[in-house]
Amino acid sequence: MIYGIGIDLVKIERMKEAVDKWGRKFLEKIFTENEIAYCYEKKEPYLSFAVRFAAKEALVKAIGSEVFIPLTDIEVMNFENGKPVIKARGALEAFFKERAIKHCHLSLSHEKEFGIACVVLEG
């Protein structure tokens, strides 16, 4: 059964501007250390930050306004084959257990200046 669906679109340049303006402090409010390291290993780190931010926002939309989830409790990782996955931590992990959410499907994409993410929560 589908619990929720969320989608979000992020302008990559906007992410770059935010990082340039507020630096590491900004990144640490949104991303885990693993995500920050992963993105900075990439040729285009702001693209990676943008799609990860979109994934977090899409997940929040899929949940609805039922509970506040810190963005650092949502960790976007990749399997060895490149498939993106959300690792639930802290409040998100507890929310998934309470609502019996068994799967969190994630799709990421980008084109020129935008990054997009879609999340489907399945109970």
- Which domains can be identified in the chain, with CATH numbers? 2-122 (3.90.470.20)
CA distance to 61, 75, 89, 123, per residue, from 94 (Å): 17, 14, 8, 14
- Quote the pTM value: 0.95
**Phi/psi of residue 71, nearest 5 degrees:** -60, -25
Residues forming the active site:
61, 110
57-98 residue pLDDT tens: 999 999 997 789 999 999 999 999 999 999 999 999 999 999
16-60 residue pLDDT tens: 999 999 999 999 999 999 999 999 999 999 999 999 999 999 999
